[in-house]
Each structure stands twice: as C-alpha cells, then as structure tokens.
Amino acid sequence: MQLLFTSVPPQLVSLAIGLLLLIVAVGPATAQSDVGDVYCGTGVETGIGIVFGAVAGLGLPATGLYVGRAGLSYMRAGGNPEKKNQAKEKLVMSGIGFGIIVLALISPELIDKVGSQMGFGFSDCVKPF
C-alpha cells in the first residue's frame, strides 16, 4: 500500500482534490438559470447597489475635480516644460481614472449582454443599474 502512494506526484494529488472540491462546490450552482439567483433578497444584493452607487456618486465628481485641477495647472505652467509635463501626466492619469470608473460601471451590463448570447446571464438582483 505504501508503494502505491509514493509513485503518485503530490501535484497530481493536489489537482485531483481541487477538482473534486470544485465539482462538489459548484454542483448546486449549475442548476441555476441565472448567475446570482442565490443572492436575491440578501445583504449581497443591497451591497452591490451601495457599492455601485458610491462609485458613481463619488468617483465621477472626484474625477471631474482632478481633471479640472490638472487642466488648470497645465494652463498655469506657462513656458516651463517641466511643469507642463507634470500637468500632462496628471491629466493622463485623471483620464485613465475616469476610464476605469466608467468601465466599472458598464462592465456588468456588457458581461450580461455577452453572456446572454452564450446561454447564461446575470440575475436581476445582482445587476447594479
């Protein structure tokens, strides 16, 4: 009996245990038609609304503030190339931040549209907007 287990690599044993746990853990969820049905009527549903509301309510005005500050510092830089480069960098970073916020807000809808074409979708209770 000892020889049987010494010839099996430990990585293979770990992989087999991981796959077994994955199959057991995901089994009940595969019977659902929409992803997120188990969260309907729970605190997770409320939390999703709060998080996305905070991102939209705080992130977009903060981005506007940083873009405005970067634009103002660019205008005040005058002929100083170092100050202009710093202001451009701030402006680019503000634009990237705005892109991340917009992508975070629209990504659940995009994923749901693509998923509905592939045969699965999000439940209505986990869609933020």
pLDDT surpasses 90 at 23:
no
Higher pLDDT, 12 or 75: 75
Exposed, middle or buried: residue 24 (CB in 10 Å: 0-12, 13-18, 19+)?
exposed
Closest by CA to 45, choosing from 126, 112, 129, is: 126
Mind listing the pLDDT tens digit for each residue in 43-76? 877 888 888 888 888 888 998 899 999 999 999 9
Is the entire prediction scored with pTM above 0.85?
no
CA–CA distance, 85 with 126 (Å, rounded to integer): 43
First to last CA, the chain: 59
